[in-house]
């Protein structure tokens, strides 16, 4: 049995256990039993048991979102609306709120916090990449960092949303994106100010040396000492 097939079977088997037992080893053991997979064999691929299974569930949601976006025609939408569409679609790909709630609790624990942040960053990278983001300089980082804040807060709001069709979550997301657009407007005004641009020339020179990672082999990227700021 290949790893992808094993993970898919375990995720399917875990669905009924996670809302009650969370993403712990109890769920992992039960999923192995229900899927008729030897637990020792499963741990060869998922050594951290339930935590690794939660990671795989999150990554599956990312893949489902990217696949769904590829089937949609977003050409008539403003870019901010494309981002909002992708975020809402990612929430729908999660399917079960209680499973997400349990995963959020798991990744909020101090030993798992860095991993949780990495998963959110991965989701936002998947969104920007799926929407054709061409940036390879410091903007690659700023876009994903900004969206990570928007996405993370939206997930937390969504978990407590009891409105019909999660309309309140959509409205919350729109407000967060409006905040980001206001920040971008300020950045645009700064670019038009010769005096401010001169004052910020040092920091900008450093930022423009940041280079986006190539694939997933050199995360989180690197500084190119020969890179020059675009004029």
> pLDDT of 63-93, one tens digit each?
999 999 999 999 999 999 999 999 999 999 9
pLDDT surpassing 90 at residue 203:
no
Range of the domain at 171: 3-192
Indicate the pLDDT class of residue 206, thresholds 50, 70 and 90.
Answer: low
Tell me if residue 43 falls in helix, strand or coil. helix
Residue 82 within any structural domain of the chain: yes
Residue 156 within any structural domain of the chain: yes
Residue 57 within any structural domain of the chain: yes
What is the per-residue pLDDT for 36? 97
Residue 224 within any structural domain of the chain: no
The residue that leads in pLDDT, 142 or 227, is 142
pLDDT surpassing 70 at residue 190:
no
Query: In the chain, how many domains are there?
Result: 1
Locate 33 and state its tokens.
């039993």
Residue 89 within any structural domain of the chain: yes
CA–CA separation, 148 vs 131, rounded Å? Answer: 16
Report the alpha-carbon angle 145-151-154, nearest 5.
145
Query: DSSP strand E in the chain: where?
Result: 210-211, 222-223
The residue that leads in pLDDT, 230 or 51, is 51
CA–CA separation, 198 vs 101, rounded Å? Answer: 47
Q: What is the pLDDT of residues 44-59, one digit of tens each?
A: 999 999 999 999 999 9
What is the per-residue pLDDT for 198? 58
Instruction: Report the chain's mean pLDDT, rounded to a whole number.
Output: 86
Residue 214 within any structural domain of the chain: no
Average pLDDT estimate for 160-174: 96
Contacting residues for 148 by C-beta, under 8 A, at least 6 apart:
117, 120, 121, 124
Q: What is the pLDDT of residues 88-122, one digit of tens each?
A: 999 999 978 999 999 999 999 999 999 999 999 99
The domain that holds 159 is classified in CATH as 1.10.357.10
Residue 58 within any structural domain of the chain: yes
CA–CA separation, 183 vs 173, rounded Å? Answer: 16
pLDDT surpassing 80 at residue 193:
no
Locate 170 and state its tokens.
């959509």
Using CB atoms within 10 A of its CB, is residue 145 exposed (0-12), middle (13-18) or buried (19+)?
Answer: exposed
What is the per-residue pLDDT for 201? 56
What is the per-residue pLDDT for 113? 96
pLDDT surpassing 70 at residue 228:
no
CA–CA separation, 37 vs 31, rounded Å? Answer: 8
For the ranges 82-86, 128-132, 157-161, 196-200, which has the lowest average pLDDT?
196-200
The residue that leads in pLDDT, 201 or 110, is 110
CA–CA separation, 61 vs 65, rounded Å? Answer: 6
Locate 222 and state its tokens.
């690197």
Locate 71 and state its tokens.
């089937």
**pTM (predicted TM-score):** 0.84
């Amino acid at each position: 049995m290949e790893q992808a097939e094993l993970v898919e079977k375990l995720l399917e088997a875990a669905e009924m256990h996670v809302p009650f037992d969370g993403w712990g080893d109890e769920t992992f053991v039960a999923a192995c039993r229900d899927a008729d997979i030897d637990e020792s064999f499963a741990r060869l691929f998922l050594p951290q048991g339930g935590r690794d299974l939660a990671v795989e569930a999150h990554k599956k949601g990312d893949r489902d979102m990217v696949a769904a976006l590829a089937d949609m025609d977003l050409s008539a939408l403003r870019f901010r609306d494309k981002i909002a569409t992708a975020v809402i679609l990612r929430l729908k790909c999660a399917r079960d709120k209680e499973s997400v709630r349990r995963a959020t609790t798991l990744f909020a624990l101090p030993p798992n916090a860095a991993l949780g942040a990495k998963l959110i960053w991965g989701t936002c990278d998947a969104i920007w990449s799926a929407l054709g983001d061409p940036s390879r300089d410091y903007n690659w980082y700023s876009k994903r960092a900004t969206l990570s804040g928007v996405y993370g807060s939206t997930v937390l709001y969504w978990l407590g949303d009891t409105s019909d069709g999660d309309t309140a979550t959509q409205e919350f997301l729109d407000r967060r994106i409006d905040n980001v657009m206001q920040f971008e407007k300020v950045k645009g005004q700064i670019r038009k100010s010769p005096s401010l641009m001169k004052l910020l020339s040092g920091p900008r020179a450093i930022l423009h040396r940041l280079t986006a990672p190539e694939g997933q082999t050199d995360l989180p990227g690197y500084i190119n000492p020969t890179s020059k700021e675009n004029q």
